Structure 1
Amino acid sequence: MLASKEKISIRQAVILFLMLVYSPAIRLFPVSSAEIGERAGWLTPILAALPLICLVYVMQALFKKDKEANLSDMFLKIIGKVPGRVLLSLYLVWLMVLLGLYVRYFTERFLTSLLPNTPMAFFTVTILIVVFYAVRGGIVALTRTTEFLFLAFSVIFIILFLLTITNVEIINLFPVTYYDIWPITKSTYSILGIWGYFTFIFFFGDKINNKEHIKRFGLQGTVYLVVMALMLLIQTIGVYGHTIIQRVSLPYFVVVKSISVMESIERIESVALAFWVIVDFVIISVFMYIIISIIKSLFSLSGSKSLLSPVTLFAFIFSYYIARNRFELANFSKYIALTTNILFGFVFPFILFVIGKIRKKI
């Protein structure tokens, strides 16, 4: 239940976070887990859940006494106005990079899979127009739409998993021994680099009610993520094995493409691709809203609608220059984005928590 028409519940905020994870998870998790964790890579989400659980408790502690605040407010309160604004500026720069990154990924997906001869600007302009009006409608309307999409996507994801489970080869997943502990630990970086987005949703924490229940819904979201990530890795590594999966650019769609229902219904990957496009819409919209929220807090602005046009224009321009092709895009995500996400998603919040406890600000 919403206490205000202008706010969302913490349950809805966690759903937004879960939708943020889907797109990069499908693209990154199978390849990275297979490359580093090899046969045991499918167990990576279980180990990766531990830092996420700690992050949930950190967020619960940060907002225990300031339930109406957002994360920007907590930065300024805990480390002071000048250091807080510096840190906020760093978050702003990085989130704008991520916004351009996901706009470009949306475009590249169409160019490589559906309409290769279409100008890139067509897809970029199309998604940004839709996102512009979605964000302009406010976080409440966007969240309600995302709730329905989340349910639909979850059902489709589970159905596709059940249709591929019969093709899983046990030999591709077992045996797993204690020698695999270190490779599994190393492979968690790709998952943590995405699950750290949990931190970002609290930049519009002033629009979130019931923050006293962060731990409850955060832990429920963690369980959901672990189960879904396990399903994703089992149906990719389990079907083709780690040696093949680590060499395929989009292994999930290779697996889905092999589905044939009663030898008559095929090309199911088009359904999965359609839902992936919808998930991209959500992640671009939410990141744009987060960026506008940070700018509003950073410069103490009373309104934010005037910021939407310049942020949208930036996303359009920057998406062209972030990489020359999809190979550079993939390398940027693998070698730069994931590590930086861990820094902003996990390291800085934990440092903030420690400083807050020492200075008795939380």
Structure 2
Amino acid sequence: MFPNNDKVTVSQMVTISILTMVGIGILTLPRELIGEAGTDGWMVLILGGLGAIAVSFTHGYIIKSFPGKSYFEILSITLTKPIAYILGLYTIIYLLGIMSYVVRTFGMTVKEFLLPETPPEFVILPILLVSAYLVRKGIEVLGRMAEIIIVPLSAVIVILFFLSWRNAEVSNLLPVFQTPSLQIIKAVPFALFSFLGFEVLLVFGGFMDKPKKATRVGPIAIFFVLLLYQLLNASVLTVLGSHQTERLIWPLLATFRTIELPGAFIENVEIFVMAVWVFTVFMTMVPLYLGGCLLMMELAGGKDHSYYSLLPLPFIAVLSVWDDSIADVYESLGKFSDYTAYGVVLLVPLGILIALLVRKRKKNEDRTA
């Protein structure tokens, strides 16, 4: 399909999916869960995770049914080529739009905690250029880099959470089972979209060396992210409590601020937290960027996606500096997701699945006729 790119293994695809899901949302997730369901947010997370696993399984089933086919080719086969062009453009807007908001939030957070006197634009531009460079190298390099990063990243995160528990109050997790069932059910869509990122499987599925195992990728990745989110939520609540968590923009960073290392040989643990987070955000941006470039190449009829790696930069740069405050960024991100995420993650795969089932039914009828 793409002669200048190699395949990725199932484990690499799982790792890419995990790192794409864990990015910006991890900073604000505990606060948003408190707003949705109070201290019962852990239940909302479980239900949302189960819903995301079910949706990701259908994504994997689509890839499994069209081994070696790209997302655009699958759209063309199932929904006709004219519709494939429209939905392909729609997906590009979604991928690059989400990346723009990730970049903007990254720039504002770095300015707030590390470089207060530096304009966000001077923080955003370097990471965009580095992302474009990695995108030029293709899916194989992305897969290998994800595997290299995931282990030390996970180790540092677990250590930081362990150190934060020194100041924990388990009673802050109470009360439980106090939120009305209807309110929890209404919060499930929010929790489901806290796992956004697993849909990159649809775009990268054609590169998998074992597409028959594609149905495993999303569920495995979401399971590990769900464990991380539960650990994150519990740690923040036990350290800060629900009332304080609800009033903070980035409660995760506030939690790690409470860490005091034995001997006090490191004054500011926040630097380590931000370093880990920068790597995580970078590995969230690149798959979205690469997915957008691959689709642009296919829609244009090109053969090498690397020629398109710089093309979206002006679009991303303009969107990433559009909003003036972090509150505006999150508000715009919510509206943008409402108009795009539901379509890319739910509606388009559902349409492909229905068309696929109809095709299979017709084939069976032709055989029996």
TM over 0.5: yes
Aligned match of 1:306: 307
Give 3-state SS (helix, strand or coil) of 1:310's partner.
Answer: coil
Q: Which amino acid aligns with 1:348?
A: V
1:137 deviates by 1.9
Aligned match of 2:277: 276
C-alpha distance in 2 between matches for 1:356 and 1:183: 36
C-alpha distance in 1 between matches for 2:200 and 2:336: 18
C-alpha distance in 1 between matches for 2:52 and 2:325: 32
Aligned match of 1:294: 295
Deviation track 1:289-341 (CA, whole Å, cap 9, x = no partner) reads: 100111122222222222112122332233222x1222210212244426742
Cα distance 1:342–1:263, how it changes in 2: closer, same or farther (>3 A)? farther
C-alpha distance in 2 between matches for 1:281 and 1:222: 19
Give 3-state SS (helix, strand or coil) of 1:346's partner.
Answer: helix
Cα distance 1:219–1:250, how it changes in 2: closer, same or farther (>3 A)? same
Give 3-state SS (helix, strand or coil) of 1:7's partner.
Answer: coil
C-alpha distance in 2 between matches for 1:169 and 1:341: 37
Give 3-state SS (helix, strand or coil) of 1:358's partner.
Answer: helix
Q: Which amino acid aligns with 2:31?
A: V
Specify every segment of 5 or more residues in structure 1 that has no aligned partner in the other structure, as ranges: none
C-alpha distance in 2 between matches for 1:157 and 1:33: 20
Q: How does 1:251-270 map to 2 (within 5 A)?
A: 251-262=251-262, 264=264, 265-270=266-271
Q: How does 1:190-201 map to 2 (within 5 A)?
A: 190-201=190-201
Q: Which amino acid aligns with 1:286?
A: P
C-alpha distance in 2 between matches for 1:237 and 1:339: 32
Aligned match of 1:247: 247
**TM (normalized to structure 2)?**
0.90
Asked if the contact 2:172–2:241 (Cα under 8 Å) also holds between the matched residues in 1, the reply is: yes
C-alpha distance in 2 between matches for 1:105 and 1:82: 35
Q: Which amino acid aligns with 2:294?
A: S
C-alpha distance in 2 between matches for 1:318 and 1:25: 18
Cα distance 1:168–1:341, how it changes in 2: closer, same or farther (>3 A)? farther
C-alpha distance in 2 between matches for 1:280 and 1:239: 24
Q: Which amino acid aligns with 2:279?
A: I
Cα distance 1:50–1:167, how it changes in 2: closer, same or farther (>3 A)? same
Deviation track 1:188-225 (CA, whole Å, cap 9, x = no partner) reads: 33332242321223213222221211233433222211
C-alpha distance in 1 between matches for 2:63 and 2:353: 11
Aligned match of 2:37: 37
Aligned match of 2:208: 208
Specify every segment of 5 or more residues in structure 2 that has no aligned partner in the other structure, as ranges: 364-369
Give 3-state SS (helix, strand or coil) of 1:63's partner.
Answer: helix
Aligned match of 1:60: 60
Aligned match of 2:182: 182
1:179 deviates by 4.2
Asked if the contact 2:38–2:179 (Cα under 8 Å) also holds between the matched residues in 1, the reply is: no
1:171 deviates by 2.6
Give 3-state SS (helix, strand or coil) of 1:175's partner.
Answer: coil
Q: Which amino acid aligns with 1:92?
A: I
**TM (normalized to structure 1)?**
0.91
C-alpha distance in 1 between matches for 2:196 and 2:104: 21
Cα distance 1:352–1:28, how it changes in 2: closer, same or farther (>3 A)? farther
Asked if the contact 1:49–1:222 (Cα under 8 Å) also holds between the matched residues in 2, the reply is: yes
Cα distance 1:73–1:195, how it changes in 2: closer, same or farther (>3 A)? farther
Aligned match of 2:320: 319
Cα distance 1:118–1:290, how it changes in 2: closer, same or farther (>3 A)? same
Q: Is structure 2 residue 102 aligned with structure 1 residue 114? A: no
Aligned match of 2:367: none
C-alpha distance in 2 between matches for 1:120 and 1:64: 42
C-alpha distance in 1 between matches for 2:126 and 2:193: 28
Cα distance 1:334–1:56, how it changes in 2: closer, same or farther (>3 A)? closer
Asked if the contact 1:95–1:287 (Cα under 8 Å) also holds between the matched residues in 2, the reply is: yes
Deviation track 1:97-142 (CA, whole Å, cap 9, x = no partner) reads: 1122122122111211111211333212211221122112222112
Give 3-state SS (helix, strand or coil) of 1:64's partner.
Answer: helix
C-alpha distance in 2 between matches for 1:338 and 1:24: 17
Cα distance 1:245–1:263, how it changes in 2: closer, same or farther (>3 A)? farther
Cα distance 1:102–1:48, how it changes in 2: closer, same or farther (>3 A)? same
Q: Which amino acid aligns with 2:223?
A: V
RMSD between aligned alpha carbons?
Answer: 2.2
C-alpha distance in 1 between matches for 2:205 and 2:283: 18
Aligned match of 1:81: 81
Asked if the contact 1:57–1:215 (Cα under 8 Å) also holds between the matched residues in 2, the reply is: yes
Deviation track 1:19-43 (CA, whole Å, cap 9, x = no partner) reads: 0122123123111101111011133
Asked if the contact 2:60–2:214 (Cα under 8 Å) also holds between the matched residues in 1, the reply is: yes
C-alpha distance in 1 between matches for 2:336 and 2:286: 23
C-alpha distance in 1 between matches for 2:64 and 2:137: 30
C-alpha distance in 1 between matches for 2:339 and 2:153: 28
Q: Which amino acid aligns with 2:355?
A: I
Asked if the contact 1:199–1:349 (Cα under 8 Å) also holds between the matched residues in 2, the reply is: no
1:239 deviates by 2.0
Length, aligned pairs only: 358
Q: Is structure 2 residue 153 aligned with structure 1 residue 153? A: yes
Aligned match of 1:227: 227
Aligned match of 1:14: 14
C-alpha distance in 2 between matches for 1:247 and 1:303: 48
